[in-house]
Amino acid sequence: MPAPRPPHHASILFAPFELRMYQRWRSRYIFSDLPNNNAPLPTALEYAAYQDWRAQERKRCLPRNYINASDPVDVNSEHEAEEDYGEIDGAILATECKHPIHPAHASALAASPSLSSHIEDGEITDPPLYCPVCTLKAHQTLISAIYTKWTTLGAPWRDPPTTSPAEKAVYSATLRAYQKARVDLVNTISIFSHLADQESAWSLAHPESNTSYLQPYTATTAVQTYYDGITYPAKLVDPNYISLSLTTTPHPHSSKKKVTYSPTTPLTTRHRPSTLWTRTYPTHDPASPHACPHPEGWEDTSRYTDWKYVVAQCRILFCYPDPDDEGIYKKLKYDTLNPGPNGFESETTTTNSAVHRLITVLETWMTAQTHDVQVQWVRYLRDISDIFLVWKDAKDGDGFEDRVGGDGKDVFDGFQRVPRLVGSPVEAFARRVGDIDDEEWEGAMVERKSVEGKGSEVWGDEVEVGGQANEGGGDGQVVMTDESEDGDTSSSEDGDDVDVRMADPADLDEEDDDVYGDDAAVGEFV
């Protein structure tokens, strides 16, 4: 059983100056042996008594002519005319409010010691401190005061929301105090309901007694006042008016659906939760005679949402400069490392070392990105069918033959994502080896002619330059470009290498369905 929460401190309700006044009153009239800093939140009756004392202190300290140019008035003077109630029908007066108490309360309290206090044990003795109506007002006053403090903290919607832990702690403590005050009121009304029944029974047993003067202060009045405050009248409409003004639309009768089982299904499993029938459940038996029959068996589709599996289905092309090209800007060639499907067996096992290498490169690159970029990339990689162009960057001491491939083709460290080979840096070579058919090529030419004269550039004409300018690149530079349609190579006017940057994978938009649109993604791994 969890330990009870400590009582709320009075600082929730009182300002610093008012808190010192409350501590002084509490140590003087309630707990004189406790230190001043021990000031829990007052109960409803304590708060009412403190407010009366505070009003007396304020009037006593103010000048004589400060309030209506008259002497201070005793707060209990309005009850002096009611003191004669104690002589009528044996009624007693409440200690604080001086209102008469119904005679039924004395017999009810004597018969049930649990009702000797309206709220807290030991607070209301015989005679009571307040009548039921004044007790109800005391609860409502305390609830209103706590709610006012709560609203200053942004309640009930906290707009703007609190941010610091200290503000959140104060807000939560005030909310709990407000809820506790409301619960105390409900418990008190429950006691008053029992006393109201006692009042009715007493009135029937003593028809000769005149208790009309007690009616404004009885538990019956308190309960009725409480429910009047929380009950709102409803606007009733004549049923005939509803039937005449509203037209009903006939609905076709639908047969009630029900689940049926085959005769061989055990009775003990017919009401088994559906979650226990899944293939991932430890006790699932795929060979069970009650499993749904399928001629080809069950296929495990859980890996379809794993980005590693999706990436493993993509083509991986190892790109390198053509060693037979003697020009300054060497044309690109590529070798297929992974034809696409059948390169991935499960989430952790690959049959192709190039697939495993590409996944490692992607994981290492994403590790260096921010969390938001990582989330967007994982979400994007789960649903792609692109082609990955990979290459090995030139490092210090590497010769040209180190970039051509050979046995180390699967040890690449740069990657570029392209949606298709048309417009990519290896377009010319792909066209020559037949990876781009005539229909796809003609469609690409139509698209290019539609953008001519508009100042637009085909995204595939951009190039990736290795070197120190890129993240993790080496000092050496080998320009990777593609052949134009007529076989010519492009160059800058001054003959220097042109460093044209591809799209930065970090430039992601969270709401984009296609993360890069028509741009290619470039990554590099060291």
**DSSP string for residues in 487-525:** S-----TTSPPP----B-TT---TT-SSSSTTSPEEEE-
297-313: per-residue pLDDT in tens? 666 676 777 888 888 88
Quick one: tokens of 200? 């009715």
Highest mean pLDDT among 132-141, 427-436, 500-509: 132-141
Look over the chain and give the mean of its residue pLDDT values, rounded to a whole number: 71
Between 44-61 and 165-205, two packed helices, what is the crossing angle to 10 degrees?
100
**Strand stretches in 64-105, DSSP E:** 92-93, 100-101
pLDDT in tens, 179-236: 999 999 999 999 999 999 999 998 898 888 888 888 899 999 999 999 988 877 766 6
Q: Residue 80: CB partners within 8 Å, gap ≥ 6?
A: 98
The pLDDT confidence band at residue 69, using thresholds 50, 70 and 90, is very low
Q: Report how far residue 29's alpha carbon sits from residue 98's, in angstroms, rounded to the nearest whole number.
A: 20
Neighbours of 258 (CB within 10 A): 5
User: Given pLDDT bands bounded at 50, 70 and 90, which one contains residue 2?
Assistant: low
**Can you give the pTM of this predicted structure?**
0.42
Phi, psi of 350 (to 5 degrees): -120, 145
Where are the extended beta strands (E) located within 283-396?
315-321, 332-338, 387-391
Q: How far apart are CA 77 and CA 80, in angstroms?
A: 5
Distances (CA, A) of 209 to 90, 192, 514: 10, 22, 87
Residue of higher predicted confidence among 68 and 59: 59
What is the H or E stretch that residue 479 is in? strand 479-480
Q: Determine which helix (DSSP H) or strand (DSSP E) holds 483, and give its type and residue range.
A: none
Question: Using 50, 70 and 90 to split pLDDT, how confident is the model at 497?
Answer: very low
Sign of the Cα torsion 135, 136, 139, 145 reads negative
The continuous run of DSSP H or E covering 464 comes out as strand 464-465
Whole-angstrom Cα distance, residue 280 to residue 283? 9
Lowest-pLDDT choice from 65-74, 79-88, 496-505: 496-505
Q: Where are the domains of the chain?
A: 10-230, 306-490+497-524
